[in-house]
Copies of this chain bind each other. A is one copy, B any other.
Amino acid sequence: MDRKILYVIGIGPGSPEVMTGEAAAALRESDLIVGYPLYLSLLGPEYDEKEKLSTGMTAEVERCQMALSEADKGRTVSLICSGDPGVYGMAGLVLSLKEGYPGVKVSIIPGVTAATAGAALLGAPLMHDFAVISLSDRLTPWEKIEKSLRAAAEADLVIVIYNPESKGRAGYLKRACDILLDILPPERAAGTAERIGREGEKAWTGTLAELSERQADMFTTVYIGNSTTLIRDGRMITDRGYGS
């Protein structure tokens, strides 16, 4: 029996109820759970007795190596990511590093990503075509990020922004909004979802001009509507084309 299994798991945006049954089953089956400390703490008491290993936020390569190497010892290991492991998560890195561990079977288990969890909190902003863009320039040149923002706005796509700001990247959301305001009207509908499913969960809706004056952090997901998006009773709704 092949016991060298590494599950790369999306635990969803925060609260344990938004995890899938498949993710919960993989965690229960695991000998070891590897992850960033905050995400380990979000798992809830059910997994308190499990052995856990963690690394710092930016130590992604070490974290993936650690998980692969522990699985290679014959253990069943789960590497957890917030949201979905395939959206700015660890799935790609694990698959790239897997070459060094030919005996390990990697299984990617999807989760609810912040784009759709935040959309549910705000209303229904993603009813039409959309682009998901990260403002983090730690691994991507800012020029490329700017090009993506412009292209999405010019094509009238709804825009979802991940990682809008962090301590080291203050003012990035304003920078992005200023680029979008070159193309889009200031009254364009916008919204933010903060700490989705966690303590301090908060939804805000308003205009793109107002958004450009707001602050955000790594736990905020930002939405800019397309030309049909409206704010109604505080909810952000993009028309699917039913003409409603």
Contact = CB atoms under 8 A, between A and B. Distances in A.
A116 B10 contact: yes
A127 B157 contact: no
B86 A124 contact: yes
Judged by DSSP, the binding face of A is mixed
Contact of A19 (B20, B85, B156): B20
A155 interface: yes
Interface string A10-42: 101001111111101100000000000000000
Nearest to A146: B155
Interface of A: 10, 12, 15-22, 24-25, 60-61, 84-89, 91-97, 108-113, 116-117, 119-121, 123-134, 138-140, 144-145, 147-148, 150-152, 154-157, 232, 235, 237-242, 244
Contacts of A144: 156
A127 B242 contact: no
Nearest to A114: B110
Contacts of A138: 241
Contacts of A60: 242
A153 B27 CA distance: 38
A158 B242 CA distance: 28
A148 to B, nearest CB: 5
A151 B15 CA distance: 36
Nearest to A147: B155
A92 B24 CA distance: 30
A86 B133 contact: no
